[in-house]
Amino acid sequence: MRKIRSISKWKKHLPIGISFPCSLCSNPYTPLLKWLLFVGGQVRTESLAQSNELQEMKQKLESRKLALSDLSMHAKRSLEDVKRKREQLGLEIRSLLLAGKTLSAADQQLQDANKLLSGKKGCGRLKYLQKMLRMREQYMIGQVCTLYPVKASNDITSRDKLDPQSDGGKSEDPVDSQSRKSSLTILGQQLTVFPMKKLSFFGDKKEIQRSATVLGYVAHAVLLIASYLDVPLRYPVRLGGSRSYVLDYAPLVETASSDLVFSSTVGLNGKPMEFPLFLEGQDTTRAAYAVFLLNKDLEQLLNYIGAESLGPRHVLPNLNELFRIIQSNEYINK
């Protein structure tokens, strides 16, 4: 009876979840040691399981601590980056404000300049003065056109009167084809070009004098137009009526005989070479070169007003084109 009571007493103190073996209950004479060993084994098993669970919980806690530490470092770096970017943004904002002030000042200066340009003494005034100047130039050159009118003649003339070096095998340009129908005259006189060979003793003296007269008219017109347009001629003209000369400060052509000889020298005394615009008593090559230089002066004046030359051998057509462009309305309103 004492053993049964002691077993019942120990049974009350068993942990929850540990059952008391029935064999021990049915056999009160089983030694208490076996029961204690059984209970100790179960307690050890439960303790080991709880220890393992506790170890796992510790590991999870450590891993969470590490993750939390990493998050804390990342947050710290992020705060430092945000602070640095905030400082940079502040600098950029200040730079932008300064640039805005500079732009505002420049815009104000631009508005002031526009007001000055649009005022009485501004760009409008300048354009008005330029227009008045062109009107004055047009009037003065119109007087020259009245003094030396260039008109078309319906007389059929030979092509040699306008083209001194025409080749029969080449196709003629529009100016030459039109010159067959109507040649240009100045004061009713046609221009006869100088031949490239020596004249015979019985040459046409009247034709030579007429050409010299026409070239004198053209030289005077070129001088007047250049002075009114304020254009310094590259090849100045020494006016002498039908005995006029064209000056070349850097001549490319000299006449040793009747042939052309190229040279880059000026006279020994440093003065420009003079080429006659007449043929009487002169070499034909020098006279032809003088006509070429006079036409280069006409080309210079045409280029000054924004036009192109009609050709190197078209003296009267170039002069007529110069008159036509300057007397047009486009010349004033350009």
Taking residues 310-328, report their average pLDDT.
88
- Which two structure tokens, joined as six digits, stand for 232? 């310094």
**What pLDDT is recorded for position 83?**
92
**What pLDDT is recorded for position 23?**
52
What is the SS3 assignment for 199? coil
Q: Are 295 and 316 in contact (CB under 8 A)?
A: no
- Which two structure tokens, joined as six digits, stand for 38? 């059984």
pLDDT tens string 178-197:
444 348 888 888 777 655 45
Q: 89-93, 166-170, 188-192, 291-295: which has the minimum mean pLDDT?
A: 166-170
Residue 59: Cβ within 10 Å count: 10
78 pLDDT band, cuts 50/70/90, is very high
Helix or strand run (H / E) with residue 75: helix 32-118
Residue 277 in this model has a pLDDT that exceeds 70: yes
CA angle, corner 78, sides to 74 and 81, nearest 5?
Answer: 140
Dist CA 148 CA 298 (whole Å): 15
**What pLDDT is recorded for position 3?**
46
Dist CA 159 CA 162 (whole Å): 6
| Sheet arrangement for strand 237-238 | 237-238, 245-248, 273-276
pLDDT tens string 15-59:
555 555 555 455 554 677 777 777 778 888 888 888 888 999 999
Q: What is the mean pLDDT of the chain?
A: 76
285 pLDDT band, cuts 50/70/90, is confident
**What pLDDT is recorded for position 299?**
92
**What pLDDT is recorded for position 202?**
40
What DSSP letter does each residue of 276-293 carry, written as one string?
ES--TTS-HHHHHHHHHH
DSSP classification of residue 187: T
Dist CA 107 CA 119 (whole Å): 18
- Which two structure tokens, joined as six digits, stand for 110? 């631009």
Taking residues 280-305, report their average pLDDT.
88
Q: Give the bridge partners for 276, in sequence order.
A: 245
